[in-house]
Structure 1
Amino acid sequence: MPEALEQDYTLQQLQQVTHAINNGQFVQVRRILAETPPCDTALLLESSPHKVRTQLWQLVDPDIQGDVLEELSEDVRIGIINQMDPELIAAATEDMDDDDLGEVLRSLPEDVYQDVVGAMDAQDRARATQALSYQERSAGALMSTDTVTIRPDVTLDVVLRYLRLRGELPDGTDDLYVVDKENQFIGALPISTLLTNPPDKVVADLMDDEKETIPVSMDESDVAQLFERHNWISAAVVDDNLQLLGRITIDDIVDVIREDAEHSMLSMAGLDDEEDTFAPVLKSSQRRSIWLGINLLTALLAAFVASFFESTLDILPILAVLNGIVPSMGGVAGSQTLTLVIRGIALGHINNTNQKFLLGKELAIGALNGVLWSILIAGVVAIWQWDFVLGGVIAFAMFMNLLAAGIAGASIPIILKRMNIDPALAGSVVLTTVTDIVGIFAFLGTATWFLV
């Protein structure tokens, strides 16, 4: 189904469900949800106000609640889980893959987590312990332990008979993993090779013994880059001794790429990428207030710098009119550089070997833009106010701020990354502070020197 038609269909579903709930037609809602895939049910829940969402969840078939929980964003999932008894949560997570189980359990408050684990049977409790033993956002937390392994000394006919006895393959299986008696990874046999070669061939002669593997501790963003670069459908996850632990499939990587993109976009606005669009007003207000408060502090800092030139502004009121131009231009130019550099860091394009070149390039761009736009603004101000000295003053300030914006936009993300601070979250605040202070100081300071 084309994306536009799918969106229209989902909107139509949401309207039908909302209308039915508002009219007390819960039987009809239950019928609609029974015919809706778990991923679309999750979308309906995320697209519904809090009150409607609560009623919807009560009408979801308990047999698919686990599948729906897997698809929900963290904030929405926590809100729904808080309404469930621990026994129901344990039942909903019973058939989850290990990676999804770990993600759900990590999102639980500590007291709820203990109750849920206590309600699990011994097998699921062991799975939960194993899933949570890996660091969050690592390959281990992302992988599934549902793999198909074979030995190198058997024939393809033996492998085919084994698969027939097994009955089914895990979703996304494109390779069978070849291991020795100690479960050490030694290669992979593509399904296409298995199906297109004579059955008397031995696995060892056909397997890919140079197949790359993923260390269990690798960050999930780095894993996503490997999948993108190699066009993998799945990849084996191993420990330091090459013991096969599990596998990661492309559907998990799509989620990582989407989450990273949302994180970068929303963090630059000071928002949580998992924030519920329909969260209660007070909760959303509290989250946003943090960055509004930080922004207020930076604005006060810029105002404090401007206060040093209060007497200059009293003598030349036109400076107050023009004072916002220079910081604004610097902020836009710096944001362009900042966004590109954050993207480069996320994609792994920027490293220690090319940082100096990048800084030099952005310095040159800042200087070129500074010359171009300072000449333009100087001409406009000189003609407007018929004051060529004032035009020169704002031109100098514009040049200096665009130069500073280029350097700051390139260096701030790199510095923050080295300090283990998320550049997408803090970069724009630091950049705005730099361009505001440099712009105000360069403009009003130069004006005080030449015009007063």
Structure 2
Amino acid sequence: MSNLNHLEAIRIALSHKKLKRVGKILHRMHPAKVAGLLEALPPVERLSVWSMVETERAGRILTYLHDEIRVALALELDLEDLIASAQHLELDDRVDLIQTLPSDLGNKLLRASSASQRKQLESMLAYPEDSAGGLMDADAIQIRADVKVSTVLRYLRLLETLPAHTDMLMVVDRKGHYQGGLRLSTLVTADLDRAVADVLDADIAGIAVTTEGSDVARLFQDHDLLSAPVVDEHNRVIGRITVDDVVDLIREDSDRALMHMAGLDDEADMFAPVLVSSRRRAVWLGINLITAFSAAWVIGLFQATLEQLVALAVLMPIVASMGGIAGSQTLTLVIRGLALGQVQKGNIRILLNRELGVSILNGLLWAVVIALLAVAWFGNWGLGAVLGSAILINLLCAALAGWAIPLILDRMGIDPALAGSVILTTVTDIVGFFAFLGLASVLLL
């Protein structure tokens, strides 16, 4: 049954007050799908469905929810049930839950953990959420480099289970310093009498605990990793990062960038109360209003020109629109390059020259096309020339702005995806209107 069918079936069951039927449907669903279903329901129905979730599955489902909904549903659980559900979570997921909850509730979850787990949790909570330390799990299997392969195999057989996504073991020396990784595929095919030091892969580098999450994701992508060791400042293994956490990180970053471009919170509830959502969006609309008034002010400077040549008012939006589209293409390209680490100090000038070249070619092409269309429409060659010139100027400025804005915002510590498009729109509108109306004032009147 698809997620959509699950949603329909549950809403029908709720309408007939058949909560046991809801519980049976939820029991057959993966926790991630249950989380998606909960986010797709309005608050009242969501709470009814949440009441039918089994306690031992509740914690896992909470880890898949966006922050705002996660907190709301966690607060609906009795403290004992919340603690019991959290005990079923891996430590890295428990850290995420503790960080999201109100501090007093998070502290209660922390204190309810065993002494050994509490020590590990406190260590993981000491690092920023979007760093390697915040992403890592403490269940890395460490082995000594000076033991034989046969000894490692006997040790693994003594363990009841291996941690999830275990594809290699972390090799350390007598003092716990990281030496390299021993892949399980190598372990099971190696000569039993060989030392681990002879078969380990020293090229599997440890990730510093302070490494930013985006850099961690890039390392996993570039090296096709399933897991990787995390090391402290003394090169001692303190945990590992697995690919499932990196996938979650990439998805969250993608959602955040998409929502921020519209001024929205990626962790917000889609069905949040109207007043709450209105307040959040009002700030963004206010910022856009300022940019709109800025463009209107430029137009007002040429009010006399517009009154004498009405055709200018008809053609003005074309100039702004062409500049906006061209600028957004460059802006998106640079933001993506920054996110992937492809835009760096050594190549930013090359990228600028390339974007200016593209803008010149496209500007010349479309300036001629639009100028001819304007002449055919209004029968005025001067108007066509002014329009074509303004479009060429605006496309060049749009490319420059689309290149510079994300670099400047990134250097200032501001997310380019959040503020870049608003600033770009302001620049292309003001430059486009000023160039078009300014040239018309000088050449046509």
Which interval holds the TM-score relative to the shorter structure?
over 0.9
Is 1:212 the counterpart of 2:205? The answer is yes
Alignment of 1:12-411 (within 5 A): 12-117=5-110, 122-411=115-404
Shift of 1:303: 0.6
Amino acid of the structure 2 residue aligned with 1:188: G
More deviation in 114-123 or 382-391?
Answer: 114-123
Q: Distance between the aligned counterparts of 2:41 and 2:116, measured in 1?
A: 35
Could you tell me whether the CA contact under 8 Å between 2:386 and 2:436 is conserved in 1?
yes
1:65 is paired with a residue whose SS is helix
Could you tell me whether the CA contact under 8 Å between 2:124 and 2:136 is conserved in 1?
no
Amino acid of the structure 1 residue aligned with 2:186: T
For the structure 1 residues 235 and 124, does the alpha-carbon distance in structure 2 shift closer, same or farther, using more than 3 Å as the test?
A: closer
Could you tell me whether the CA contact under 8 Å between 1:87 and 1:119 is conserved in 2?
no
Q: Distance between the aligned counterparts of 1:182 and 1:292, measured in 2?
A: 58
Shift of 1:94: 2.1
Amino acid of the structure 1 residue aligned with 2:205: E
Shift of 1:278: 2.5
Could you tell me whether the CA contact under 8 Å between 1:42 and 1:71 is conserved in 2?
yes
Shift of 1:117: 4.1
Shift of 1:245: 0.7
For the structure 1 residues 203 and 124, does the alpha-carbon distance in structure 2 shift closer, same or farther, using more than 3 Å as the test?
A: closer
Q: Distance between the aligned counterparts of 1:213 and 1:435, measured in 2?
A: 46
2:51 is paired with a residue whose SS is helix
1:437 is paired with a residue whose SS is helix
Could you tell me whether the CA contact under 8 Å between 1:86 and 1:119 is conserved in 2?
no
1:323 is paired with a residue whose SS is helix
Amino acid of the structure 1 residue aligned with 2:401: A
2:352 is paired with a residue whose SS is helix
Could you tell me whether the CA contact under 8 Å between 2:98 and 2:107 is conserved in 1?
no
1:431 is paired with a residue whose SS is helix
For the structure 1 residues 218 and 291, does the alpha-carbon distance in structure 2 shift closer, same or farther, using more than 3 Å as the test?
A: same
Shift of 1:115: 4.8
Amino acid of the structure 2 residue aligned with 1:201: R
Amino acid of the structure 1 residue aligned with 2:123: Q
Give the TM-score taking structure 1 as reference length: 0.95
TM-superposition CA deviations, 1:153-185 (whole Å, max 9, x none): 222221111111112111111111111232221
For the structure 1 residues 235 and 336, does the alpha-carbon distance in structure 2 shift closer, same or farther, using more than 3 Å as the test?
A: same
2:76 is paired with a residue whose SS is coil
For the structure 1 residues 110 and 179, does the alpha-carbon distance in structure 2 shift closer, same or farther, using more than 3 Å as the test?
A: same
Shift of 1:84: 3.1
TM-superposition CA deviations, 1:74-125 (whole Å, max 9, x none): 2221221232344433332223222212222222233443454455554554
TM-superposition CA deviations, 1:49-78 (whole Å, max 9, x none): 211111111110001111111111222212
Shift of 1:220: 0.8
Q: Distance between the aligned counterparts of 1:318 and 1:36, measured in 2?
A: 61
| Gap runs ≥5 in structure 1 | 1-7
Shift of 1:392: 1.0
For the structure 1 residues 176 and 238, does the alpha-carbon distance in structure 2 shift closer, same or farther, using more than 3 Å as the test?
A: same
Amino acid of the structure 2 residue aligned with 1:16: A
Could you tell me whether the CA contact under 8 Å between 1:101 and 1:131 is conserved in 2?
no
Quick one: percent identity of the two aligned structures?
Answer: 46
Give the TM-score taking structure 2 as reference length: 0.96
TM-superposition CA deviations, 1:176-203 (whole Å, max 9, x none): 1111232221121110111112222221
For the structure 1 residues 401 and 135, does the alpha-carbon distance in structure 2 shift closer, same or farther, using more than 3 Å as the test?
A: same
| Gap runs ≥5 in structure 2 | none
